[in-house]
Structure 1
């Protein structure tokens, strides 16, 4: 399924992308430019070192359309929203571990910053649609009573490999049960988007990203997110792969190219009005399986079982029927191909493995 999309509506349109210099935001703004849109990226540029933005994401201070600023700056947000036809609100403190360590910082950016964006969008009356970027973290570990038995039966052979555990499939109507500060802030953002923009009569869509990966993603110190990047970087440097919680967690891994396409379709599809849509592959993959896929490219890499970090859910995978129906589309990049692409990119871009991780390898 890949229906004709409404992306042509973006030609000539001004699109504000908060968080627009990060991995996903930079990919979205590049795609918008290719579609003939005029994107404005608002970003603090402080989530990574400057060379990561410049050398990996291709974003430099002074670039046309880049505004270095913060969604917590209400006046700046109002100014940028007032000139926008569309808004994609992707800015967030998005690292689960960082949100757990600094809950007030997460609330400041993910709650107060989101309210600034919603207030500005509701006030202008010009924005044709806003997309709020949420996360599968709102589901937590799901509700074992809420399953699709037919789909589970058809997936059983695949799921038997996940340490004897059948993970939940997350439907958009599933009750949200976040297990982390990050998930809590995203669940709040979803409700607040529907409340504020619903009352203002402004079109909106909510997209729940599952586990995003893909080149040029790079890892952050003290984070347990971004499992493909972590495993590939560690294997590349000859370090063991840490299987937190024995690697039993399940992730629905979605390549950043597919995340970009799904987000823009949610921005323009007539059927996406007021909808909440999963952006996932619909395929459950255990963390241990990801380790094995990376290990296939680095055969001498050992696996090391480690404790499960706080706030790290066992997870599940996306129900994709609504996504396919509303967006007329499904992701294209498989996890096997995506890991191979990432490893090939990393081998061609060795600087993507951070210096501090290299020092750990040298000391091992």
Structure 2
């Protein structure tokens, strides 16, 4: 896309820039000649994860340790930027359910803080607000025409799942089922409400299930299924299929998500648009476990209760993404999981000690 040249020598603020996705976005921005400035609290993981896995250098002058709800800090950083990617969030569904006030502080207050800073800055050309496919819920009413599957694809999906899994088009009725989803949906509406009336360009991107190296697991979380299954399989622990593993996910590799997010900053058609970032492919949790089992042949499965707020899920309609961004993801689920398994075997220290303690001796 010729417009990518627009990012050369531009400064881009990434809130949440120290995390898995933010750090990959920063890497892709550098690759196209931009200067990423990252803001992050760095409290979601042990410090060694940020340093050794995500490659964060605390001495980098373009890395700022701070909170997205710090209005003075955010306003100062935004004032020196041409673009803003607002990715900072308490993104763990379980953590948001257990601590709603923490979710509100980061996901709602933090978003409002960023929006006010952008509104006060004449330099910013576009804000990209990172949302989530969780706003779709279970897809009780979904936008099937936007998905435009072929007849053979529909028959295949019905044969695999015993039903037609929801395909989420951007125009679908939204049915958030968790605190996390509620906060992301609020952010979508508030972004559009605030910036439209000021004439400031924005793009909303809805991430589907992001996975890929160097992702690692967090205690008490039921997110990040590829990382969970691979880590447990590597330790000889059973792969836990919540509710039998029949939930559907659209898995998209973190490098593809980073590329799509960066493109959304400058794509002319992305102005004031809401776009899915997904693969357009439905994969059950059980199928993920089976793909992991290819790389860890001794892995066993066990069925566990469904956690609260865990949706049955669906997959992304990607026609708008392809039209608006002129792009689609390139890393297949099979290749992405193979990459992750190979990376984990090369990087066994990515498995946290608390999980190792649960492994059979």
Q: TM-score, normalised by structure 2?
A: 0.97
Q: Are positions 1:138 and 2:135 aligned together?
A: yes
Contact kept, 8 Å, 1:39 with 1:65, in 2: the verdict is: yes
Deviation at 1:362, TM superposition (A): 3.7
Match of 1:218 in 2: 216
| Alpha-carbon distance in structure 2 between the residues aligned to 1:56 and 1:199 | 41
Deviation at 1:267, TM superposition (A): 0.5
Task: Decide which of 47, 50, 53 is 1:50's aligned counterpart.
Answer: 47
Deviation at 1:158, TM superposition (A): 3.3
| Alpha-carbon distance in structure 2 between the residues aligned to 1:10 and 1:102 | 38
Q: TM-score, normalised by structure 1?
A: 0.97
Residues 330/285 of structure 1: CA separation in 2 closer, same or farther (3 Å cut) = same
| Alpha-carbon distance in structure 2 between the residues aligned to 1:145 and 1:258 | 25
Deviation at 1:8, TM superposition (A): 1.1
Contact kept, 8 Å, 2:142 with 2:173, in 1: the verdict is: no
Match of 1:168 in 2: 166
Unpaired segments ≥5 residues, structure 1: none
Match of 2:26 in 1: 29
Match of 1:322 in 2: 320
Match of 1:89 in 2: 86
Match of 1:228 in 2: 226
Q: Secondary structure at the match of 1:206?
A: strand
CA RMSD of aligned residues (A): 1.2
Deviation at 1:145, TM superposition (A): 5.9
Residues 237/201 of structure 1: CA separation in 2 closer, same or farther (3 Å cut) = same
| Alpha-carbon distance in structure 1 between the residues aligned to 2:214 and 2:173 | 33
**CA offsets per residue over residues 69-99 of structure 1, 9 Å max, x none?**
0011001000000111000000000001100
Task: Decide which of 238, 241, 256 is 1:240's aligned counterpart.
Answer: 238
Match of 1:289 in 2: 287
Contact kept, 8 Å, 2:235 with 2:359, in 1: the verdict is: yes
Moved over 6 A (4+): none
| Alpha-carbon distance in structure 1 between the residues aligned to 2:328 and 2:165 | 21
Match of 1:62 in 2: 59
Deviation at 1:152, TM superposition (A): 6.6
Task: Decide which of 3, 12, 16 is 1:6's aligned counterpart.
Answer: 3
| Alpha-carbon distance in structure 2 between the residues aligned to 1:48 and 1:321 | 36
Residues 262/300 of structure 1: CA separation in 2 closer, same or farther (3 Å cut) = same
Residues 86/146 of structure 1: CA separation in 2 closer, same or farther (3 Å cut) = closer
Contact kept, 8 Å, 2:237 with 2:360, in 1: the verdict is: no
Task: Decide which of 123, 127, 145 is 2:124's aligned counterpart.
Answer: 127
Unpaired segments ≥5 residues, structure 2: none
| Alpha-carbon distance in structure 2 between the residues aligned to 1:292 and 1:140 | 25
**CA offsets per residue over residues 145-196 of structure 1, 9 Å max, x none?**
6423852733234323544132100000001110010000000000000000
Task: Decide which of 278, 284, 300 is 2:298's aligned counterpart.
Answer: 300
Match of 1:273 in 2: 271
Contact kept, 8 Å, 1:5 with 1:269, in 2: the verdict is: no
| Alpha-carbon distance in structure 2 between the residues aligned to 1:54 and 1:126 | 32
Match of 2:114 in 1: 117
Task: Decide which of 309, 334, 354 is 1:356's aligned counterpart.
Answer: 354
Deviation at 1:347, TM superposition (A): 0.2
Residues 104/49 of structure 1: CA separation in 2 closer, same or farther (3 Å cut) = same
**CA offsets per residue over residues 223-247 of structure 1, 9 Å max, x none?**
0100000000000111000000100
